[in-house]
Structures are given as C-alpha cells and as structure tokens.
Amino acid sequence: MRLPDWYSRIAANWPVPKTFLLGLLLVTCAMVYRLAEPKPVTLLVDGQASHIVTQAETVAQLLGERGYHVREQDVLQPALHERLEEGLVITLQRAYPLAVHVDGQVIHVYTAGAKTADLLAKLGITLAPLDRVNPGLQCVPAPGSEVTVTRVKTAMTREEAVIPYVTERENDPGLPRGQRLVLAQGKPGLLARSYEVTYADDKEESRRLIREETLRRAQPRKVAIGTGAAVAASSPGTRGSQVVKTVQGLASWYGVPFHGRRTSSGEIFNKNALTAAHLSLPHNTRVRVTYLKTGRSVEVRINDHGPHIPGRIIDLSQAAAQAVGLKQAGVGMVKLEVLR
C-alpha cells in the first residue's frame, strides 16, 4: 500500500515507529467515518414522536434541519451541544402562553407543560389554606387556557334584628260591648345572630349561622274587648228605668293616670267607658248623672270605689264627664238618680 506524501514527510522528520503512525491514521479515519455515518434517532416534540435517520453531529444541528427553533422557555433534553448517538431520544417540549388571574391582576406567561403548582411557585405566588385554584394544582393547564387563583377567607360578623311583638286579645265583660281597651302597649324584642361569612376575592360568597341569642324578649300588646251590655248617654227626659233614689252634690272625673289599671271591682279601668266610682253604691249599680249647669245627662255603671276627696259624691270616667260637659270644669254640681 502506497502511503500519502504527508505521511512520508512526517515519518522522515519524526523519530517515531512507522507502525504507530499507521495505527493513528487508521483510528482517525474510523472516527471520521463514524461521524459521517447516518444515525437513527427519535425526536419527540410536544409528545409527538418522529423516527429519523440523520447525519447531523449534534442535537442543535438535528433541530435546525427539522426547522425547530428552541426558545428560552422551551424544555429540551439532551442539551443543544450534545452529540448524537445511535438510538438517542431527543425530547422537546415547546412553551405555550397562559394567562394567570390572581389578586386582581392578569399575568401572561409561557410554560412547557408544567403543573399548576410548579407554575405558581415559579411566579412566586403563595396560597393560603382556603384559596382555590382552577385547574387543580396537580393538573397541567392546556395551551391558551387560564389559571385562576381565588383568594378565600372567612370572618365572623354579628347582626341584630328586631323581634316583632304580637297582640293578645281577651274578652272583658266589664267593658261595654264593642269597646276596646289597650291594657299594655307592645314592645319589640331584640335578637342577635352571629355568622361565619365566607369571602371570595373580598366579595361575600356565603354565610353560616353560628349562634342566635335573644337580647330582649318581645312584650305582647294586650287589648281588652268589651263583651258587657252597651251603656249609652241619655237626656233628662229619658224614661223606662225606675229611679229609686235621688241626691245632689259635687262630681269630679278621672282619666289618663288610671287608664288600664284595675278598679276595686277587679275590672280594668277604661277612660272611654261610661263608668263611675261611688263610695257606697254597690258595683254594677246604674246611675243617671245630670250636670246641673248644662242640663245634660248620662247613664253610668258603678265599677269603682271613690271619690276620696271630702265633699264629692261621685267620680265620673273621662267619657262620662265629657258627655255631660263637665270635663273642662273638672268639678261641678250634679244630680244623681239611682236606677233599678
């Protein structure tokens, strides 16, 4: 075999055995041949595999041949500078855009198939225990999709509410039929409720009742309904009842301070009923009272004991005094006719 001229010159000027130089030449030729020999490799791009036979020497050369440009956010294994070997698998996961909605902001990012948890960690977004993430932390968001972080918190709140009162009605035979007497004004109660309120991004989402407490009980409105016989005012000429006794003297009247209180008969005093108080006449005695100044008369029923001021013989209710014209004067001379 004839050796190249450059080999002869090296052999003549370099005191090395010819066999060694021949071996070095053979190794170099073998390496050049091996590099130039086509190699079967597998290229996996975004999960899609391609089986390729190439003469490219590095990963970068192969990707260039195939028209792929590797961006900073892409994930590539092995690296671009790695030399190709027979049977090598090259994996390229290209980054795609995502929109992350968090804390009222929209962050546009590129990711290469990372899980939601890894993506948020890379962005420096921390999560509180109640925060919600969609899609889930272990999911891989799809290209062009959105990741939403909802900040969730709870807080206790206390609210007060009015308890309406009810009206209780009871029949009272001591009142003329059809008349009503308010015995007690109703008073509303007060209720306190404690809630656990859930807020999603600072907006109330739901609430759960934790505790309910009555601060003040409602007091019912009590009304007496008259079921007794009707008593009407009469004029001096009214007839039909027998007069068993007649007496004259001073009369007075009483009203608001005693309205709603118990009389000596046990009835509830009603300033609007035609009743009166007398010191000696039995309860339920009917008496015709005539105010001598006006000549007007009214028939009343005795249901109380009085008056307790010396010189007065009868104490009329406010309605009876008004019926005969005695209310404004307060005290006046009257004629009493005890009826049977």
Residue with tokens 């109330």: 204
CB within 8 Å of 330: residues ≥ 6 apart: 252, 253
Q: What does the pLDDT read at residue 163?
A: 96
Enter the CATH code of domain 5-93: 3.10.20.30
Distance CA 5, CA 17 (A): 17
Residue with tokens 């999709």: 145
Q: What does the pLDDT read at residue 165?
A: 94
Buried b / exposed e along 279-315 (16+ C-beta atoms within 10 A): eebebebbbbbbbeeeebbbbbbbbbbbbeeeebbbb
CB within 8 Å of 150: residues ≥ 6 apart: 131, 132, 133, 134, 200, 201
Q: What does the pLDDT read at residue 9?
A: 59
Q: What does the pLDDT read at residue 31?
A: 53
Q: Which CATH architecture has domain 231-339?
A: Beta Barrel (2.40)
For the chain, which residues make up each domain, given as ranges? 5-93, 96-150, 159-224, 231-339
Domain spanning 159-224: CATH 2.20.230.10: yes
Q: If you write DSSP's letter for every residue of 301-328 in order, what string do you get?
A: EEEE----STTEEEEEEHHHHHHHT-TT
Nearest CA to 175 among 234, 239, 263? 263
Q: What average pLDDT values come out for the chain (340 residues) when binned by 10 residues?
A: 54 55 56 66 91 92 91 90 93 92 94 92 95 96 94 96 94 72 86 97 96 96 77 48 90 92 91 93 94 91 93 94 91 93
Q: What does the pLDDT read at residue 304?
A: 94
Q: What's the CATH fold of domain 96-150?
A: Ubiquitin-like (UB roll) (3.10.20)
Q: What does the pLDDT read at residue 276?
A: 96
Q: What does the pLDDT read at residue 18?
A: 56
Distance CA 214, CA 246 (A): 59
- Same topology between domain 5-93 and domain 96-150: yes
What's the whole-model pTM score?
0.52
3-state secondary structure of 331: coil
Distance CA 269, CA 87 (A): 112
Q: What does the pLDDT read at residue 235?
A: 44
Q: What does the pLDDT read at residue 225?
A: 83
Partners of 48 in the beta sheet? 45
